[in-house]
Structure formats: C-alpha cells, structure tokens
A and B are shown apart, each in its own frame.
Chain A
C-alpha cells in the first residue's frame, strides 16, 4: 500500500487493431457488431414502395435526429418516384448518392468500420442487397449545451461566448473569428474505446509547419482507452509529465484561442471537452489573461506586474516569514518583532509548525469549497475561514501574524490566471517554506534557485518553458515578458514560435 497505485504485473502492450472493426459489410454483419445495444435500430424500406426493391436502414437511436432522418431520408426513399424508375439497384444507389435523399453530407463506404463509426456519429446507413458499398447519410442530432458565457475566464470588454462540448461547434466559433481559408482543421480519432474526435487547428502560412506536424503526430500517436478527461491529453502530449507545472496552456475563450492561433501557435480541440489547448506553452502565457489585449497598455502592464508580484508573494512569503522570524529577526521592524514575540509566547507550536498547519488548513478549505455544491461550498468557506482564522488565533493555536501571512500568500495565488500554474506554485510554496526553516534566507534562495533550475530544464515542443526570459536558439527573445507594449508597436509575432510569417500588421 503506497502513495501511488501499485503497478503489479503489467501485461505486454498489444498493437492497435486496424481496421478497428472487422465484420462483413452487410446489414447483418453490422447488426452483429451492435448486438446487445438497445439503442441500435434497423428498418427495412421499399424504394418508392416497391417490395421488389428493399433496402435496410441502420441507425442508432439518440444519435440520430428523428426529424432529419424521417424527412430527409425515409420520406424520399419511400416516396421519390425517380427511385422507382431506376433501372436497377445500382442505378437507385447512384441516384440516392447524387441527391435522391436530402441530408447535407452523404458518403459511400466500402469498409465495415467506416460504417460502424458513421452510425455512432449519428449517420444513417443504407444497405442495398448484394451491393458491396454502403451509403451513409448525415442525420446526426445536434443536441448540445448552447454556447454560454465563460465561467472561469470572465472578461469585461471581451466576447461573451465560450467553448462547448461539441468540437464542431467549437471549430465554428473559431472559424467565425478567423475567416481566412488558411485556418486548417485536421481531425484525428483518439481512444480505443472513446474514439474521440480531436482537431488540430492552426493557421497555414503563419504557424510553424513542423510544429503543426508534430502536434498532429503526437495526437495521432495517442493510444489510450479513453480521451474524456483533460488530463489525458495534457499528460500524454507534453514533453515532461513529471513536473507540477502545467506544460499546456488552455482556454475556454474562443477569442483567446484565436489570438493564440494568430500568434502562430497550434491549437487542439477535443470533442466532449469545452476548452482548447495552445502549443507550445511558455511561462508568460500563464500570466496573460484575455483581458490584457482589451485594456489600455498601461493598465494591462500594471495588472500584469501585480500578477507577477503575487506569484512571488504566494511562493516565497511564508518562507520569508519563517526565515525572518527564526533566523533573521533583524529584518523585521522592532515593534513588529515585539508583537510577534508577544503573540508567539502563548502559542504552543513552533513557527514552522504554525505556518505548515495553516497552509494545509488553507488547502483543505479550498478543496472542500471546490468539491461541494456552490451554495454549501460558500458556507463551508466562510465558516472554515472564521474557524481557521479568528477562532484559531483566539484559541492561541496560531499567531495572528502567521494567519495574515498565510492568508496573503493564499489570496495572492488566486491572481494567477492559470489555476494549474497556481497549483504548482502552491506545491512549491511548501518546499520553499521547508527550505527556509532549515537554512533561513540561504535556504529560501536555494529553493528559488532550484525552482529556476527545474523550470529551465523544461521544454514545450522544443521551446524553453522559461521563454521569453531566456534565449531561444542562442537569440534573445524580442518580447516584453511582463509589460505589454501598445499594440501598434507590436509588429511581429513571437520569434521563438518560428512561424513562417512573423509580421502581424501592415
């Protein structure tokens, strides 16, 4: 019994089966594939009501939109006189493929697995007796959550739409903003069981073609059972999965996604997940918000500075407090030192113990608030805040100074636009605090150096994680990492993306 799941005896890998479904290309063969599936439907129809010309219609209830199947497929099949006048079934097949039925998309399939996955996608398959080709017709339902406002990335001056679970809706949200035909959308199917559509999106002529190719290669090489969680994509696509720091930047805002594509990044959209990923991910991308480009450059720069400052506060403040109190009281003003001493006299725990307990309590409160329904979560947060806060101080369990320090550090962490990044900072905060408790300011500096060393070893699709603070390919990155210049001054796309066209304005 350990912290991590015990691997035990791992069976050897087995290659992915291609084609995935091996069955005869007949209605019975496909029905055999779906045996035991209550939602599988099958119906025999007569072309133009002629019993000598039967066809089999296969579909999956729930995946198909009933009106579309009835009006666009069943009605013309049974009532279109042209089909009755067809010379033979081949002629009727050709008529149907060329407009005899009314769905927007029609495909002629000659492999069973193509038909199976068309059916799963909500298409209707028409089988003609004795014919080794199948007509599949797009009758999929479009039931989905409607496009709504972004919940996690609000923007005062920005667009009000956010990605939804349907990848095709998401690509349309992107296409409406980037109307150039150079917007390429390459679809891959990922997951042996989920067979999830994953779209690689990029602007041809702007994004580095090698980067687009590499993202596509990694997506298509993904060989997992299911792709239904965000972590699956993030952890399999990145160069380094063992770090706590996020190696992918994601957004639920189409405008921000499009801005990334226009910058020369490559995006990934996954069916079933209402967000888009942008590659490569660099350190500065986790400190930008969608609002940065909407507001005045001076305001955006000031807010960006605040976010960077808060990152340092959340990372180092508890450690700095521990180091100053335990090793360097001369750093603290005398009156504050005296009040710390006076408050600490009644607390039975060590300074490090106090800080660690409060940091853990903060994490517990946050986790409890997240996991509970919103109404209960707020109550828990308020009650927990009161209990862990003033009550703990009154009970002499912690010093007021420790409470304030931990609260400032915790709240400062919430200013990070990326909560994944904030999570990594929270983990490192414990480490910096422990180092400070062992070696004082020296330990804090060593922890900071260790952090920089760790980050300097990370790369995202060949781009150093610390970009734009480091040179890329021996060249200095011409980009303000913290401040934002007025947009008319930013005439080029980031060089480290190695895009084909660096100029971004006339």
Chain B
C-alpha cells in the first residue's frame, strides 16, 4: 500500500505539468546580446552565436519586457536560450528600470550582464554593422568599463542616475563613446518612470 501511494505520488508529480522541460544543448542557440527598444510596446533583439559561428538573430515584440521575452523562444528550428546573455543594449526610449526588474524576475536571465546604451536604438546597433557579439567582447577586453544590470539598478535606486557607455559603429568597428547619465528615479518596488535619459 505504501509503495502504491509512493508510485501514485511520483506519477502525479511527474504528470502535473510543473516539471521543468529538458532542452538538449544541440537544439539551443545562446543569446549573447539582448537589445531593447521602446517602452511600450517593447521590442527585443537577440543576437547570439550558432554552432556555425554565424550570428543568430531574432526579434520579438510585446506590451512589456516580459511578454516580449516570452515571444522570443526560437530562431528558426532552434530554441533561443537566454541563460548566457552577457550584454544588454538599451535604446533611448526603453524603460530601463522595467527592463532591469524584468531581468531580475526572469529565471534564465542573469543580473551580471553588462549594460550599454545606443543613442540610435538597439536595433540600429545590433543589426546595422558587423558582429556585435565579438565587438562587445573586444571592447571589454580593451578595458571599456560597463556597469552590470545589478549595478545600474542599484544606481537608479540610490541616486536616480546610472552612467552607461554609449556605443556607435565606425564602419565594421564598434566604438564606445562618452558615457551618458541615465536618469530614472526608481523605488525598491518598481517605481514610476521619471525621465528618459540625458547626457
């Protein structure tokens, strides 16, 4: 009887739909850079490296950051994994605080991604030039400092401002210009958007 109960309990746990879904690694494309444009609707751009070393690109749109993120599951036949996002590029009209909170709430996205700013929008930066993933990694190796998600959020919570390095293309090369001071007052609970951005 005890065994029967154990089997029944185990089966009910397995079949309840709460179990996580396995994803074979060869069916995944890792997104390395996530771009965000717009405060509502939000447009996400994912760029990653596929197994052929060619950049994988995907785009999704939603009312909020999380709803757009939910619509970004596939790049062709392969599932996009946001587990290894290393760079976050935000455009001038993005609701940065909402994006940062969304990242913290998401179970896959990590808070250690570096945050960058593109004055012409994330789309222009991620789709307008060469390999953004390689160029961003190169910038970091060159010593360009960029705050992480959690550092930016802390800055916004504490001071209402956070410096973000501004990116732009020069031919096939990505350059980091003078940092812009993003201004947005947030509370520990998600606060109201105060202003957009400024130098």
A-to-B contact residues, CB < 8 Å: 325-330, 334, 337-338, 340-342, 344-345, 347, 350-351, 437-440, 442
Q: Is B83 an interface residue (CB 8 A)?
A: yes
Would you call B110 and A330 a contact (CB within 8 A)?
A: yes
Inter-chain contacts of A438 with B (CB < 8 A): 14, 19
Q: Does B28 contact A (CB under 8 A)?
A: yes
B23: contacting residue among A326, A334, A338, A437, CB under 8 A: A326
Q: Which residues of A contact B24 (CB under 8 A)?
A: 326, 344, 350-351
Please, how many angstroms separate the alpha-carbon atoms of A330 and B110 in the complex? 8
The reply on B17 being an interface residue by CB < 8 A is no
Question: With an 8 A cutoff between CB atoms, is B4 at the interface?
Answer: no
Is B76 at the interface (CB under 8 A from chain A)?
A: no
Q: Which of B19-50 contact A (CB under 8 A)?
A: 19-26, 28, 30, 32, 49
8 nearest A-B pairs in the assembled complex, by CB-CB distance:
A330-B83, A326-B22, A344-B26, A334-B84, A345-B26, A329-B83, A344-B25, A341-B25
B83 touches A439 (CB 8 A): no
Q: Using Cβ atoms and an 8 Å threshold, which residues of chain B touch A351? A: 24-25
CA distance A439 to B10 in the complex (A): 11
Q: What is the minimal beta-carbon distance from B142 to any residue of chain A, in angstroms?
A: 19
* Residue of B with least CB distance to A326: B22
A-B contacts, 9 listed (Cβ < 8 Å): A325-B25, A326-B25, A329-B25, A329-B28, A347-B26, A350-B24, A351-B24, A438-B14, A442-B20
**Which residues of chain A are near B81, meaning CB under 8 Å?**
329
- Complex: A338 Cα to B23 Cα, angstroms: 14
Kindly list 15 other residue pairs between chains A and B, CB separation below 8 angstroms, not including A330-B108, A337-B83.
A326-B23, A326-B24, A326-B25, A327-B20, A327-B21, A329-B28, A329-B81, A329-B84, A330-B83, A334-B32, A337-B30, A342-B51, A350-B24, A351-B25, A438-B14
Q: Are B25 and A440 in contact (CB under 8 A)?
A: no
What separation, in Å, do the CA atoms of A437 and B24 have in the docked complex?
11
- Are A437 and B22 within 8 A (Cβ)? yes
- Chain B min CB distance to A399 (Å): 9
- Determine the chain A residues whose CB is within 8 A of the CB of B19 once the complex forms: 438-439
In the assembled complex, the Cα of A337 lies from the Cα of B83 at a distance in Å of: 10
Q: How far is the CA of A344 from the CA of B24 in the complex (A)?
A: 9
Question: Does B95 make an interface contact (CB < 8 A)?
Answer: no
Answer whether residue B86 sits at the interface, using C-beta atoms and an 8 A cutoff: yes
Closest to B28 in A: A341
Residues of B within 8 A of A344 (CB): 24-26
- CB contacts under 8 Å to A, within B62-89, are 81, 83-84, 86
A239 to B171, CA, bound (A): 77
A433 CB, min distance to chain B CBs, angstroms? 13
Residues of B within 8 A of A328 (CB): 83
The residue from B32, B51, B108, B110 contacting A341, defined by CB atoms under 8 A apart: B51
* B110 (CB) vs chain A CBs: closest residue: A330
* Nearest CB in chain B: distance from A400 CB, A: 13
Whether the Cβ atoms of B110 and A338 lie closer than 8 Å is no
Closest A residue, CB atoms, query B83: A330
Please indicate the chain A residues that have their CB under 8 angstroms from the CB of B32 in the complex.
Answer: 334
Residue of B with least CB distance to A328: B83
How many angstroms from the CA of A327 to the CA of B19 in the assembled complex?
10
Q: Which residue of A lies closest to B107 (CB)?
A: A330
Q: Which residues of B lie under 8 Å from residue A341 when comparing CB positions?
A: 25-26, 28, 30, 51
- Pair A345/B22 contact, Cβ less than 8 Å: no
Partner of B51, one of A326, A327, A345, A440: A345
B30 near A334 (CB under 8 angstroms)?
yes
Cα A325 to Cα B14 in complex, Å, equals: 20
